[in-house]
Amino acid sequence: MKQLLNRLINHETITKQEARDVLVNISEGKYNSSQIASFLTVYMMRSITVEELEGFRDALLDLCIAVNLKDYNPIDLCGTGGDGKDTFNISTLSSFVTAGAGVNVTKHGNYGVSSSCGSSNVMEHLGIKFSNDTDFLKRCIDKAGICVLHAPLFHPAMKEVAPIRKALAVKTFFNMLGPMVNPAFPKNQLVGVFNLELARMYGYLYQKTDKNFTILHALDGYDEIALTGTTKAIRNDTELMLKPSDFGVQPLKAEHISGGNSVAASAKIFMDVISGRGTEAQNNVVCANAGMAIATAKHLNPKQGFELAKESLESGKGLNALETLITLSKN
């Protein structure tokens, strides 16, 4: 590791194979926490290369506990986080709205690291059970149209890194990797990323797969469609610049979509929105993101997806998906 760190400190990059080997070595406990923290810090100070990102991704996918849910043809809605915006849990809410619209979801998530509240914090607070038991996960999709894949249960190799990430409390390249390493290997994916450079890298890497994807980055910095301005969307065969008017709605202000500053406050916003008590701004931003997921899975345009998401939210189908998942978690 010392040799590798010296190379990185001298502004060298590493190969795909070297990147893969580093993560495998971390998983085997070959480095101490100071070495791992130093390694993570390098990537906070310079951009990651496509080769490095690919190597890290391959290592995590090789090391994960895979779960076979391909018969459900699911989609994952996942953001990298790390955009520093502290919005409410938009992608998590959008996942339930998407499920309510009849598109199966394998929601990959974790506790918040660089934000006060990640998707797993809210879902745990609401009483959703985390499990890596395939039969339970299949039962969740059969009954609710959605299952939750809590990252630490599927990536045990990364247990060495979790406390270091928590102690650092800033975004690391693991934020970049999260959406890429869903253990269900879904063929459909809606990914939000925190900068344009990463959006392009993701686009390049996803083009090399058989996934049906949409990658999102709001030009004012959000890792999702915020409706506060224009959002860059990279799809399999096209690139779009999405404006609020493409969904038939008015632009929003940042304060309209800010989140709770605690898990309890975030969970309250979550329940208000999914129960139909959200503000128009909250409803629209959730439906825009769910709409893009539905549009990705069903090959529709954004406005068509938005209308299906709106119907799911307003009819209570999204809420029903959540309540069903909570009930299944108690059994």
Give me the amino acid identity at 310. Answer: K
331 carries a ligand binding annotation: no
For residue 45, the tally of other CB atoms under 10 A from its CB is 9
241 sits in which H/E element = strand 239-242
79 carries a ligand binding annotation: yes
108 carries a ligand binding annotation: yes
94 carries a ligand binding annotation: no
276 carries a ligand binding annotation: no
115 carries a ligand binding annotation: yes
Burial class (CB in 10 A: 0-12, 13-18, 19+), 198: buried
SS (H, E, C) 184-223: CCCCEEEEECCCHHHHHHHHHHHHCCCCEEEEEEECCCCC
80 carries a ligand binding annotation: no
161 carries a ligand binding annotation: no
165 carries a ligand binding annotation: yes
134 carries a ligand binding annotation: no
222 carries a ligand binding annotation: no
87 carries a ligand binding annotation: yes
72 carries a ligand binding annotation: no
257 carries a ligand binding annotation: no
89 carries a ligand binding annotation: yes
135 carries a ligand binding annotation: no
CB 230 within 8 Å of CB 219: yes
CB 161 within 8 Å of CB 183: no
Distance CA 95, CA 79 (A): 12
203 carries a ligand binding annotation: no
Task: Specify binding-site residues for Mg(2+).
Answer: 91, 223-224
Task: Specify binding-site residues for 5-phospho-alpha-D-ribose 1-diphosphate.
Answer: 79, 82-83, 87, 89-92, 107-115, 119
Task: Specify binding-site residues for anthranilate.
Answer: 79, 110, 165
Task: Specify binding-site residues.
Answer: 79, 82-83, 87, 89-92, 107-115, 119, 165, 223-224
